[in-house]
Amino acid sequence: MEWRRLNGQRIAQPLLNAVEDTLRREKAEGYKLKVCIGTDSQVIGAEVHFATVIVFLREKRGGFMFISNDKSMRKMTLRERMILEVGRSVEVAYSLCHLLDEHDVALEVHADINTDPAFESNTALKEAMGYILSMGFVFKAKPDAFASSCCADKVI
């Protein structure tokens, strides 16, 4: 996965190094951080566009994010797309969790899945929640899943 900042600046170093540098810099500046990871997708023509974000929240001081975009030509159901989104988020969370633990940074995985059964995305809620929780991560769904439903949604 290739990563960039919101301003478009490419993150040239490996993700683990970039996150570690960020954690050290933010800690040195006196910020207490929380990291939220989420993915959103959108069908555009025959393609499915994905955006995964790592949101760094500074306690009471705003935040910033790293972004990775990808696309797939594969046709898939909405449920399959939701589980793929969660899988991408869990993959990133898993690769960073030991580093975040070392720096005592809280981690949440956000799923762009509605908790209201009236919405079609709700069909994947139990599977997504089970997957994320079984990996030992804190799970958030809509309306509390801002990393996926707001941040990732804006950068597709």
Q: Which two tokens stand for residue 133?
A: 């929780």
Q: How far apart are CA 54 and CA 95, in angstroms?
A: 12
Structural domains of the chain, with CATH: 3-154 (3.30.420)
Half-sphere exposure of 2 (CA within 13 A, CB side): 7
**87-135 residue pLDDT tens:** 999 999 999 999 999 999 999 999 999 999 988 888 899 999 999 999 9
Instruction: Find out whether 56 and 5 touch, Cβ atoms under 8 Å.
Output: no
Q: Which amino acid is at 88?
A: R
Instruction: Find out whether 42 and 30 touch, Cβ atoms under 8 Å.
Output: no
**Across the chain, what does the average pLDDT equal?**
96
Give me the pLDDT at residue 120, please: 87
* Burial call 47-61: b when 16+ CB within 10 Å, e when fewer: ebbbbbbbbbbeeee
**54-79 residue pLDDT tens:** 999 999 999 999 999 999 999 999 99
